[in-house]
Amino acid sequence: MSVKVMIPTPLRPHADGKAAVEFQAKSVAEALDQLTAQYADLKKHLFTEEGSLRSFVNVYVNGEDIRYLAQENTPTKDGDTIKIIPSIAGGSVTPTTTENPFGAVLQN
């Protein structure tokens, strides 16, 4: 039941620079639990303090948004790919203050 979790570039610094990690998981929740257990720093980027997925972080299983499947209870099977896609806003990013982990330059 190996599931591949793809990590977007803004979050890779919190996951030892890895682009993808594989887990044995039967659901999205199981995979994300293992991911945040392995890389504790990722937790606050992906989840609110109440433990729900942040609204600007979308999760897809094989290209389908889990909001239109069974949310985090979406089952996963061997060979599935989970993608984490955060909202990014850059278009002409200047190396000035970055106030959130996804690189949105909101003010200089």
Partner 1 sequence: MATPIHTSTAALKAGKKLSNEEILRYSRHLIMPEVGMEGQLKLKAAKVLLIGTGGLGAPLGLYLAAAGIGKLGLVDFDVVDFTNLQRQVTFGTSDVGKAKSEAARARLSNLNPDIEIEAFETKLTSENAPELFKDFDIIVDGTDNFPTRYLVNDACILLGKPNVYGSIFRFEGQITVFGMPDGPCYRCLYPEPPPPGLVPSCAEGGVLGVLPGIVGSIQAMETIKLILDRGRNLTGRLLLFDALEMAFSEVKLRKNPNCPLCGENRTIHKLIDYNEFCGVRGEEAPAPDLKVPEITPRQLKVRLERGDRLFILDVREPHEYQICNLRGHLIPLGELPRRVHELDSSQEIVAHCRSGKRSAEAVEFLRKAGFRKIHNLKGGILAWSDEVDSSMPKY
Contact set with partner 1 (CB under 8 A): 8-10, 13, 19, 44-45, 54-56, 58, 60, 63-65, 68, 83, 85-107
Up-side HSE of residue 59: CA atoms within 13 Å toward CB?
Answer: 25
What is the C-alpha to C-alpha distance for residues 69 and 102, in angstroms, rounded to an integer? 25
Burial class (CB in 10 A: 0-12, 13-18, 19+), 79: exposed
Q: Which two tokens stand for residue 47?
A: 């989840």
The number of residues in the chain equals 108
What is the C-alpha to C-alpha distance for residues 42 and 10, in angstroms, rounded to an integer? 11
Residue 78 or 97: which CB sits closer to partner 1? 97
Considering the complex, what minimum distance in angstroms separates the CB of residue 34 from partner 1?
22
Residue 78 or 91: which CB sits closer to partner 1? 91
Considering the complex, what minimum distance in angstroms separates the CB of residue 32 from partner 1?
17
Residue 25 or 83: which CB sits closer to partner 1? 83
Considering the complex, what minimum distance in angstroms separates the CB of residue 51 from partner 1?
16
Considering the complex, what minimum distance in angstroms separates the CB of residue 108 from partner 1?
9
